[in-house]
Amino acid sequence: EDQVTQSPEALRLQEGESSSLNCSYTVSGLRGLFWYRQDPGKGPEFLFTLYSAGEEKEKERLKATLTKKESFLHITAPKPEDSATYLCAVRVATGNQFYFGTGTSLTVIP
Amino acid sequence: DAGVTQSPTHLIKTRGQQVTLRCSPKSGHDTVSWYQQALGQGPQFIFQYYEEEERQRGNFPDRFSGHQFPNYSSELNVNALLLGDSALYLCAEGKGSTEAFFGQGTRLTVV
């Protein structure tokens, strides 16, 4: 069964304290791994797509990486405005839908 | 911002009632998917429409149905509402197998 697991469930960081969020997946043929940011009561906002192991993408303080079994979202010197829930999703070879993890709730304290 | 518009933003319904949610994707985006997101959970796939046909369906009962119009806009209908249907309903647009862009969602509360 296709499965996506995110850890930790919640993370509190001091402003400037770098860290990483993890997304591990077990799927039957990966067509893409996607990272989204979601603010409370809002829809997910697209961040990155990764397609193959070894691929990396960067955007401001965020960097996403992909291996054959997991993806990391690295946050460098976070700011309070980075506080949000970060969702990981995969698309598999047998279908078109996304399978989402339950997300990591990030709080950055000034 | 891909410009997906969902309406209404909030809705309160009584158990047993029926509800229709609407989604208007950005022009040219032919694939529309619907997701249900319960509080504290990740979105769960309901179904996907492409060229007015339901192309794929997730593990949701027949009470959940949908429609896509020639202009690619879409509706999600839920019949015989249950308390457990309370959630944020998200519409996502895309083209092919690339990333999907989500609307702001409709918050449905069933009382």
CATH numbers and ranges of domains, chain A:
3-109 (2.60.40.10)
Cα distances (Å, whole numbers) of residue B77 to A11, B34, B45, B47: 37, 11, 15, 12
pLDDT at B95: 65
The nearest CA of chain B is from the CA of A4 a distance in Å of: 10
Give residues with Cβ within 8 angstroms of B84, minimum separation 6.
Answer: B110
At A80 the three-state DSSP class reads helix
* CB spacing of B100 vs A95 below 8 angstroms: no
Q: Which of A97, A100, A102, A104 is the best mutation test for B, with the most CBs of B within 10 A?
A: A97
**Structural tokens at position A50:** 């990764």
Segment B57-75, tens digit of pLDDT: 999 999 999 999 998 899 9
**Structural tokens at position B87:** 């959630």
What domains can be seen in chain B, in order of their start residue? 5-110 (2.60.40.10)
**Structural tokens at position A52:** 């193959």
Segment A78-107, tens digit of pLDDT: 999 999 999 999 998 777 788 999 999 999
Q: Do the Cβ atoms of A31 and A52 come closer than 8 Å?
A: no
